[in-house]
């Protein structure tokens, strides 16, 4: 298991490797196993859901591992729907996890 600090460093390396601009760091203390338990996760999705360019500041997520985003079907489905709707353009993960925003 990686410490939070190690996970943060790995994510910073992803940001540097891809030349990403970090708008805000959102760290959640609650477990991703059960839906509706994570206020910071909910806040992050709300920030990504704005369609107005004036309110919208980000269009992607950097996470250490896909299971840091969700370990339950409801919240995973919310992320997938936002990808389908074009609200989330890209997901970046450290290590061997990659995401391609296409039908595969």
Look at residue 103 and tell me if it is in a domain: no
DSSP 63: E
| Count of the separate structural domains present in the chain | 1
- CA separation for the pair 50, 26 (Å, rounded): 17
Look at residue 8 and tell me if it is in a domain: yes
* pLDDT exceeds 90 at position 4: no
Read off the pTM: 0.87
Domain of 10? 4-93
Distances in Å between the Cα of 74 and the Cα atoms of 27, 38, 70, 95 are 20, 13, 9, 25
The answer to whether residues 91 and 81 touch, using CB atoms and an 8 Å cutoff, is no
pLDDT in tens, 24-83: 999 988 888 899 999 999 999 999 999 998 898 899 999 999 988 999 999 999 999 999
- CA separation for the pair 84, 70 (Å, rounded): 17
* pLDDT exceeds 70 at position 104: no
Q: What pLDDT does 45 receive?
A: 96
CATH of the domain at 83: 3.40.50
Token representation of residue 70: 């969700």
């Amino acid at each position: 298991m990686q410490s939070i600090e190690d996970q943060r460093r790995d994510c910073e390396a992803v940001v540097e490797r891809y030349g990403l601009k970090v708008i805000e760091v959102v760290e959640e203390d609650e477990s991703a196993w059960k839906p509706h338990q994570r206020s910071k996760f909910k806040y992050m999705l709300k920030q990504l859901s704005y369609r107005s360019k004036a309110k919208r500041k980000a269009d992607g997520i950097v996470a250490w591992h896909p299971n840091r985003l969700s370990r339950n079907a409801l919240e995973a489905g919310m992320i997938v729907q936002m990808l389908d709707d074009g609200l989330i353009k890209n997901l970046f993960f450290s290590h061997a996890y990659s995401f391609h925003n296409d039908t595969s």
